[in-house]
């Protein structure tokens, strides 16, 4: 009986490690699907990827995946948008969004076991708004613009796309988890 528990525990640990690694890779790939913008904040699929990581992995493992992604970027691996890497990305105009991704993942991950769809949407959008707020504040500080200018340049043009990305990630989560369950049962 004890041996079965140990084997089951190892199986889950391996599954968690693989899932975290897989989502770290997904985040890196989705960051490269980007359109550069004059403000320096590109249009990417990062919001979708981080929301999906939270929804599928939950807040703990989603945060681990996000941390590994950021750590890879900080040490110079070009995982950030437009194949960029290095510590300067965290202290540059887009760094606030990178920090904000943690809040997006956590909020989406907190909804993992929730059934109330309106609650799920509200908590997920809260995470997105925190991400945007941190992005706007850091952009304001680095670019020495007003808060309103910063919002109009680096948040407002992206909000509709990002809300749709978060909602689409939630829908994809349902399909992904259903398919993973089917694979697990075969």
Domain extents in the chain: 2-170
pLDDT in tens, 94-141: 999 999 999 999 999 999 889 999 999 999 999 999 999 999 999 999
pLDDT score, position 5: 61
What pTM was computed for the model?
0.89
Between 36 and 141, the more confident residue is: 141
User: Residue by residue, what is the 3-state secondary structure of the chain?
Assistant: CHHHHHHHHHHHHHHHHHHHHHHHHHHHHHHHCCECCCCCCCECCHHHHHHHHHHHHHHHHHHHHHHHHHHHHHCCCCCECCCECCCHHHHCCCHHHHHHHHHHHHHHHHCCCCCCHHHHHHHHHHHHHHHHHHHHHHHHHHHCCCHHHHHHHHCHHHHHHHHHHHHHHHHHHHHHHHHHHHHHHC
State the fold for domain 2-170: Arp2/3 complex 21 kDa subunit ARPC3 (1.10.1760)
């Amino acid at each position: 009986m004890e041996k079965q528990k140990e084997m089951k525990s190892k199986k889950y640990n391996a599954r968690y490690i693989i899932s975290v690694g897989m989502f770290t890779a997904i985040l890196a790939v989705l960051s490269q699907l980007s359109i550069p913008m004059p403000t320096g904040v590109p249009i990417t699929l990062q919001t979708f990827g981080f929301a999906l990581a939270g929804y599928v992995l939950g807040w703990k493992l989603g945060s681990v995946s996000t941390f590994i992604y950021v750590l890879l970027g900080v040490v110079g691996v070009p995982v950030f948008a437009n194949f960029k890497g290095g510590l300067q990305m965290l202290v540059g105009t887009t760094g606030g969004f990178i920090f904000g991704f943690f809040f997006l993942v956590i909020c989406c991950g907190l909804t993992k076991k929730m059934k109330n769809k309106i609650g799920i949407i509200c908590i997920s959008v809260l995470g997105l708004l925190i991400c945007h707020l941190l992005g706007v504040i850091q952009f304001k500080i680095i670019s020495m613009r007003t808060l309103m200018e910063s919002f109009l340049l680096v948040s407002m043009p992206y909000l509709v796309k990002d809300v749709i990305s978060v909602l689409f990630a939630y829908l994809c989560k349902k399909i992904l988890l259903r398919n993973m369950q089917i694979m697990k049962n075969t």
